[in-house]
Every structure is written in structure tokens, then in C-alpha cells.
Amino acid sequence: MEPIVKYPVYDLENQLLVGEGTELSPDFMNGFCREKRKSYPSAQLLEYGDIEKDLRQQFTTPPYNVIFAREETKTKVLAVMEHIRLPLPVFQVMDYFRKNDFHTYRHMLIISALTTLILDHLDPRYSSLAGEFSHFGPLHDLGKYTVPLAVLMENKPLTIKERDILRHHAVAGYVLVSHYLKDHRGLASMIALDHHERRNGTGYSRGIEQENLTVEVTTVCDIYDALIAQRPYRPISFDNRTALEELTWMARQGDISWEPVQVLVAYNRQKGTEVEEISISMERRGKPPKQNVYGILADEERGDRM
Ligand SMILES: [Fe+2]
Ligand SMILES: [Fe+2]
């Protein structure tokens, strides 16, 4: 199923990239990426502004202070992330979020580090492709730039229309990443498009059955970070144990794969080097926070928010 652009997507200079109703077929995307547009200079992620300092700060914040507790874990992840170079407009987006919606900014950074950590365990090709692989983190939610801050920061249930605009960040992100990297087939573009899909086809934007484990690593990290983070719509976050139980539950239901969940649990027990020996309890003992409008729509229809 081809993704459809429901709302026009503009670049950071307000130039229309793709109009409403466009079907993003492989042919269309080939032409789109071949179009002569200006190229953008790039910069190293960890050398830009306060990014490395901000990421190190995340490593000290629960539950990441446990996951990244070992010096060797931080060193390894940062060594991989040193290879990440991104086009300057991506940093403009990160600056925008750092100023206006700090959660989204820190989310982009920590997802980059966490996916790096998990992929290192799961994919034997990882060490040789490290620099390319870890492009994913900061780029997966690039499309959030197209979502009004009022929707991103809303503390009340969203309307169906608002949820639609929010969910459109995946398709918009696919367009933006393809545009700025001039590549729509690479993993970074695929992750931007498909990181909200599920193994059993219950996700969005296309409702496909997700089969790509590398994409799924971002999905699992994304869900985890959404659960444990404080958000305007849920001032009290899931405690870490309950968040891990939710992920275990989702893996059991077939929404997501076990492998990334297992690595995440292992690092939460500070047993990162012994992932294979981890056994995961199926019990659900934790309680999700009460003040939580996540998944509730103002129009009284239910569904996932993000
Ligand atoms: Fe997303
Ligand atoms: Fe995300």
C-alpha cells in the first residue's frame, strides 16, 4: 500500500514539496528524489550546539541512568554516534524543538542513543554500518515539525482531526527525510514512514504488517520513551516497571517483536552483556498513571495518540 499525503508538506523554507492527495508511489518518489534541488551542507550531530551535553544529561535521567549506567555502554554508543552527519535543516528542526517542545528534542536524541545500543546487540551488520544506522534516531520524528505545537503540546484529548494531523508526521517525515537525504529507499526514510506500524498490522500510516526488525527497534524505543516521559496529556509518566510490562504485553500480543524488548529489559537490569540469559516475566503488576488522556479522543473515538 502506498502512503498518501493528506496535508501538503513544505520544506523549512516554506517551499511546497508534495501537495495534498499525492500518492507516494516508488515512481513518484524516484522522480522526487532526482529533482534538481539545492544540496545542503551537513554537520556532525554530536558537535552541533549543545547536543552532546544534552544527550549526556539524558544519560543521567531515570530510567536512562540505569540503561546507560556503565561507562563502556556510553562510550560505545557515543563512539558510533560520532559518525552521524546530518544536513543542516535537520539541526534547524532540532533547534526549533529544543526551544519550543523540549520533549520532542530530547526524544530525538535519546531514541538515537537507545536504537544504537539495541541494534548493536541485534544486528551483526551493525558495527560496519554503524554511522548509517544511527541516522535513524534524530530523523524518525522529523515530520513532527509539520504538526502545530498546539497539537503536540495539547493536554486535553485530541479531536479526530488533530489526531489525524499528528499521525501525519510519519508520512510528512518520509517526505522530508527523502528530500533532505535525497533518498527514499534508505532505512532512515523507511523508519520515518513506518515507525508506528505494528507486526500485526494494527499501526499506521499504511497499516502494513511490520516485518523489518531494524525499523521495529525504533518502534520499541519510541513506545518505551513515550511511556516513561512526562507529557502535557499525562503529567505523571508510567513508572519504568509498568512501561516494561506494557512492552512485554505488546510483544505477547504480537504488536512488536520480542528481541528489542528483551535487550531493553536486560539493560534495565544492568545485565546488558547477558541479554540471552534474561527471562521476562509475563505478569502485569504495575498500574498505569491515572491522569492520562493518551489514546482518548475528544470526539469519543478511541485510538493511539502518537
Ligand atoms: Fe513518531
Ligand atoms: Fe518518536
Q: Looking at the CA of 172, which ligand is closest?
A: 1
Cα 105 → chain centroid: 11
Half-sphere exposure in the Cβ direction for 213 (13 Å, CA): 14
Could you tell me the pLDDT band of residue 272, with boundaries at 50, 70 and 90?
low
Residue 303 has pLDDT above 50, yes or no: no
Q: Distance between CA 121 and CA 115 in Å, rounded?
A: 10
Q: What is the pLDDT of residue 138?
A: 86
- Alpha carbon of 277 to ligand 1 centroid (Å): 31
Q: Which ligand is nearest to the CA of 104?
A: 2
Return d(Cα 130, Cα 120) in angstroms, integer.
8
Q: Give the closest ligand to the alpha carbon of residue 137.
A: 2
- Pick the ligand that lies closest to the CA of residue 136: 2
Number of CB atoms found within 10 A of residue 168's CB: 21
Which residues crowd ion ligand 1, with CB under 5 Å?
Answer: 141
Band (1; pLDDT cuts 50, 70, 90): confident
Give the distance (Å) from ligand 2 centre to CA of residue 36: 30
pLDDT in tens, 239-267: 899 999 999 999 999 999 999 999 999 99
Residue 174 alpha carbon to ligand 1 centre in Å: 11
- Give the Å distance between the CA of 195 and the centre of ligand 1: 6
**143 CB contacts (<8 Å, ≥6 apart)?**
168, 169, 170, 171, 172, 173, 174, 175, 176, 192
For CA atoms 151, 155, 161, 167, the dihedral sign is positive
The neighbourhood of ligand 2, an ion, using CB within 5 A, equals 141, 222
Question: For 67-115, how does the pLDDT look when each residue is reduced to its tens digit (9 = 90+)?
Answer: 999 999 999 899 888 888 999 999 999 999 999 999 999 999 999 999 9
Kindly give the pairing relationship between strand 42-44 and strand 85-87: antiparallel
- Contact call for residues 20 and 5 (beta carbons, < 8 A): yes
Question: How far is the centre of ligand 1, averaged over its atoms, from the C-alpha of 226 (Å)?
Answer: 10
Quickly tell me which residue has 507486526 as its cell.
199
Give dist(CA 256, CA 227) in Å, integer.
15
Distance of CA 306 from the midpoint of ligand 1 (Å)? 6
Q: Is pLDDT above 70 for 278?
A: no
Which of 97-104's residues contact partners 24+ apart within 8 Å by CB, and which partners? Answer: 97/144, 97/145, 98/49, 98/50, 98/54, 100/149, 101/149, 101/152, 101/153, 103/229, 103/230, 103/231, 104/141, 104/144, 104/152
**pLDDT tens-place string over residues 114-159:** 999 998 888 767 656 655 666 777 899 999 999 999 999 988 888 9
Sequence-distant (≥ 6) Cβ neighbours of residue 34 within 8 angstroms: none
- What does the pLDDT look like over 220-230, one tens digit per residue? 999 999 999 87
Count of Cβ atoms closer than 10 Å to residue 246 Cβ: 18
Distance 31 CA to ligand 2 centre (A): 28
